[in-house]
A and B are shown apart, each in its own frame.
Chain A
């Protein structure tokens, strides 16, 4: 026999599962996207600075700057910088290819943000190591990436 308590706990659990799924699914996708970019190398925090305003008024145009601490010499340089987001329709934002001829590992662009979310910058060095910086951004006016 099903008791009132059982019914209540299962429905509460189900509602919780449904409510939580979109957020955790996108976080998993984000982790998968970073892992795919790292191609098996361990991803550590540090060396990278993702500069973006913590409170964004207009999600259609969000200026961002990524700087990586690197001498950018032939022996030690940044090969690529990737930017990922958590809750846009697609996890990728941009992938920049650099080399010793870049001189300085600093890249700026303007992006769209559909909602308040996490942004992650990942830098891949020539020795294969990967470094990241994660930033939380609050968006007041969302970009119309999806209507």
Chain B
């Protein structure tokens, strides 16, 4: 399990715009670098990040990101979404070598 850091408000007013900042610990090895012995370091990337908003009725993908080797190590992505109703936001990262991680954060909408 990689360490993740998701920063977003716990509560929001209905229709309010909230900023979500996500960070996950991952080397994002490009597959272009060489080790000291000259061998190529095998590629190891996070390929995709998705954020789904489940508000009790609908489960909608509000944001997705496809990541390439040019993304810095420990990928940081921040974006916005509209708080529609109380529910949970599910973040999932997928990557090479079967890397998959999901985190869920509750949001209370008043």
Interface size on A, residues (CB 8 A): 32
Of A13-21, A41-49, A83-91, A129-137, the one with at least 4 CB within 8 A of chain B: A83-91
Of B3-11, B60-68, B96-104, the one with at least 4 CB within 8 A of chain A: B60-68
In the bound complex, do residue A102 and residue B81 qualify as a contact, i.e. CB atoms below 8 Å apart? yes
CB distance from A3 to the nearest CB of B (A): 46
CB distance from B53 to the nearest CB of A (A): 7
In the bound complex, do residue B79 and residue A106 qualify as a contact, i.e. CB atoms below 8 Å apart? yes
Interface size on B, residues (CB 8 A): 30
In the bound complex, do residue A85 and residue B70 qualify as a contact, i.e. CB atoms below 8 Å apart? yes
In the bound complex, do residue A98 and residue B68 qualify as a contact, i.e. CB atoms below 8 Å apart? no
Query: Please, how many angstroms separate the alpha-carbon atoms of A125 and B33 in the complex?
Result: 36
Can you list, as one digit per residue, whether each of B62-101 has a CB less than 8 Å from chain A (1) or not (0)?
Answer: 1111111111110111111110100000000000000000
| Residues on A with beta carbons closer than 8 Å to the beta carbon of B33 | 144-147
Query: Please, how many angstroms separate the alpha-carbon atoms of A106 and B78 in the complex?
Result: 8
- Where chain B touches its partner, the secondary structure class is strand
Among A60, A97, A106, A113, contact of B80 (Cβ-Cβ < 8 Å): A106
Query: Please, how many angstroms separate the alpha-carbon atoms of A107 and B78 in the complex?
Result: 6
| Residues on A with beta carbons closer than 8 Å to the beta carbon of B32 | 89, 145-147
In the bound complex, do residue A99 and residue B65 qualify as a contact, i.e. CB atoms below 8 Å apart? no
Interface centre among B33, B60, B70, B72 (most CB of A within 10 A): B70
In the bound complex, do residue A101 and residue B70 qualify as a contact, i.e. CB atoms below 8 Å apart? no
| Residues on B with beta carbons closer than 8 Å to the beta carbon of A103 | 17, 80-82
Can you list, as one digit per residue, whether each of A101-128 has a CB less than 8 Å from chain B (1) or not (0)?
Answer: 1111011111111000000000000000
Chain A positions near chain B (C-beta within 8 angstroms): 60-62, 85, 88-90, 92-99, 101-104, 106-113, 143-147
Chain B positions near chain A (C-beta within 8 angstroms): 17, 21, 30, 32-34, 53, 60-73, 75-82, 84
Given A62-B72, A96-B79, list of 14 further CB < 8 A pairs?
A93-B71, A94-B66, A96-B65, A97-B61, A101-B53, A101-B62, A103-B82, A104-B80, A108-B78, A109-B65, A110-B76, A112-B70, A146-B32, A147-B32
